[in-house]
A and B are shown apart, each in its own frame.
Chain A
Amino acid sequence: MNVKIIKRKDIPKHKEVIIRIMAVLLSIVFAGVILLAFGLNPLKIFGAIIDGSAGSEIRIKQTVLRAVPLLITSLGIIVAFKMKFWNIGAEGQITMGALGATWVALNLPEGLPAPFMLGSMMLGGFICGAIWAFIPAIFKAKMGTNETIFTLMMNYIAIKFVTYLQYGPWRDPGAQGFPKIAKFTENAILPSVLGVNIGWIIALICVAIIYVFMTRTKKGYEIAVVGESVQTARYAGINISRVIVIAMLISGGLCGIVGFIQASAIEKTLIAGIAGGYGFTAIITAWLSRLNAITCLFVCIAFAMLIQGGSYIQVSLGVSSAISGLVQGVILFFVLGSEFFLQYRLEFPKKPVKEVA
């Protein structure tokens, strides 16, 4: 069979809706078949995923706790992706941000007022995340290195560096010899508003700032132009190296803030796994939101619900973690797959019909 893949120029609204609905239905059917094969009731599982992520106050809070790091990281990735700079290094930038915030928390005097301490930690997180993104950015700008591999590898360096600190110079002597870093004091822990740490307010502010920055400012526009065509950007007199570096400083800095929030509010110290995979999941959410900060807010909430619901069904229905992961994977597969069909269409050229005289 002969299949042609053709890029769509424009897609009518109703067709887009049908494709999206179909993706969701297909994922339900396929996940359902798998669940039935394991002797589980698919409808009950799907119901439990929603119930588990929004069914009670505790669950909503847990969903928000997952959405916050995902959202801010996605925003950081959006800035880079808009420029077609494939920043796969958010995981490392989060880790280094957490490291920066932790260094501040462990080294400033203990009695410092909380607002000053937290402000310094946030700044420390931003700077360290930005530095970690700056390194691949400057190489890309000056030497044209491949940023995908570069940023990816920087992740492992960051995580291993934290492991080194954990086992070596930063090891807490009061932990029965267990290799971990000391807990923060009270003034280095983010306070809560409405029962959830104020990371969620920071996240909403970031959404607004990035939305305005990307759509209403000259720098944001320049980033988009560089992403569309380097030639055009050069022709328009845009300093491309400068744009790459600035965009990556913002991208890495935002990830660094995530590191600060996770270290301060959640772990209350630094651990090697502080980024928790958010740096990778955020690539999916950034992409699904089509690099729009406002859309991203909703995509991240939906995604956080999926993660939280997946965790909940393990507890409430005794579903094994493998099956829970499988259901999440199937849903993702179809939703991501539908993106392909929104941008391309398949054509099956008809065989020439022999004419009978």
Chain B
Amino acid sequence: MNMKKFLAILVALIMVFSFAACGDEETDTFADADLRVGYIFIGPINDGGFTQSMYEGAVASKEHFAGAMDFKYRENVTEDTQEVKNTGLSLIDEGCNVIIACSYGFGDAMKELSEEYSDVTFLHFSGSMKNDTNFDNWFGSMEQARYLTGMAAASVSESNILGYVAAHPYTEVQIGINAFTLGAQAVNPDVEVKVVYIGTWGDAEKEKNGAEELLNEGADVITYHADSTAAQLAAAEKDAWAIGWNFPKNDAGDKYLTAAYWNPEVYFNYVLQNILDGKFAPESYYGTMADGLIAIDKLNDAVPADVQQKIADTKAKMEAGEFEVFTGPINYKDGSVLCEEGKTLDRAGIWSINSEIDGVSASSTN
């Protein structure tokens, strides 16, 4: 074919496009909302885990504010400062006046941006960074939900080995592991929790490999602190129980035991209302099972009735503020004391946890 003829056909095709594309001018309502929120997500919004939980929270919150709140987002943002800052700037450039950054590693970029853009409010999930005016962090007492799922796990395990695929050997993750272990020990003192650290918050391949390693070592219940549901899939393949995390998504069929998850709209509605009313002040928000930020999914019928009852009772006590997960005596696995007998850990105490407790064995694939 003659080259010029080809070129002419191409141009014609493109012109057809421009006609096909006409006439879908949607009206932009984003600029009309008082609360224009920009979300930065670490994973894809349909990951069945952490990012989906945050995204669904944003959708629920938009509904709640009926027109006063609208949001834009970017998914799959890697935890390097250039990428995060770039995304934050793009969102501000689009008119956002609130930025919600949903991952620990986004914190440094938020801190920098909060200094440059004093009229924008920055809300960072996890960590402890904040300032006095427009930068705050938020998190929740996930140890409560982890404790309850630990009880459920121990009640169905026959090998008495529970597998835990974990991200980084870092306080936030270790709180969850330790709480899960305490819950499991409350039902069966002989249970052992095996942990594999995979060195990333989200990498489906590594999550699955980690779970398989644990299954090969005899674990018959798998839970995880990572962003996707890959560990659930690995468990279901080997006919082992799976406990979800972050978002109540069942990817293990009949073997789905329950899940510890977030209801982020509880926080979004609260903090955005404060911003709307001009009452926002950084406070390092810490949600609980009582206010609903933290939840556990309905239990599988395989959990024995007496344990189901025990879990329900413990949950009720947690909500009433009568039950502390970290109540002594608790020792670290090296024998040193985490919490003395008769004492409980307060929030600061919980957030200085730096290892796994007695009953846990941990290894790292990194």
* Chain A residues proximal to chain B, CB less than 8 Å: 15, 18, 21-22, 25-26, 28-29, 32, 36, 41-44, 52, 56, 58-59, 62, 65-66, 163, 167, 176-179, 183, 262, 266-268, 271, 273-274, 276, 308, 311-312, 314-316, 318, 320-322
Contacts and interface: CB of A to CB of B under 8 A. Distances in A.
Contacts of B104: 178
Nearest to A308: B86
B11 interface: yes
Given A29-B13, A42-B17, A321-B75, A312 B170 contact: no
B90 A62 contact: yes
Interface of B: 3-4, 6-7, 10-11, 13-14, 17-18, 20-21, 24, 38, 44-45, 72-76, 78-83, 85-87, 89-94, 104, 108, 127-128, 168-172, 174, 199, 351, 354, 366
Q: Is the interface of B mostly helix, strand, loop or mixed?
A: helix
A177 B7 contact: no
B246 to A, nearest CB: 19
Contacts of B168: 178-179
Given A29-B14, A276-B80, A311-B87, A22 B6 contact: yes
Given A18-B7, A267-B81, 14 more contacts: A22-B6, A22-B7, A29-B14, A56-B93, A62-B86, A62-B90, A65-B86, A176-B128, A314-B75, A316-B72, A318-B72, A320-B44, A321-B44, A321-B74
B87, B91, B93 interface centre (most CB from chain A within 10 Å): B93
A312 B87 CA distance: 8
Contacts of A177: 169-171, 174, 354
Contact of B87 (A25, A267, A315): A315
A147 B106 CA distance: 37
B140 to A, nearest CB: 16
Given A22-B10, A56-B93, A311 B21 contact: no
A276 B82 contact: yes
A36 B44 contact: no
A21 B14 CA distance: 13
B86 A25 contact: no
Given A25-B14, A179-B168, A320-B44, A311 B90 contact: yes
Given A25-B7, A43-B17, A271 B169 contact: no
Contacts of B169: 177, 179
Nearest to A29: B13
Contact of A178 (B44, B94, B170): B170
Contacts of A21: 7
Given A44-B21, A59-B93, A320-B44, A273 B78 contact: yes
Given A22-B7, A176-B128, A177-B171, A43 B21 contact: yes
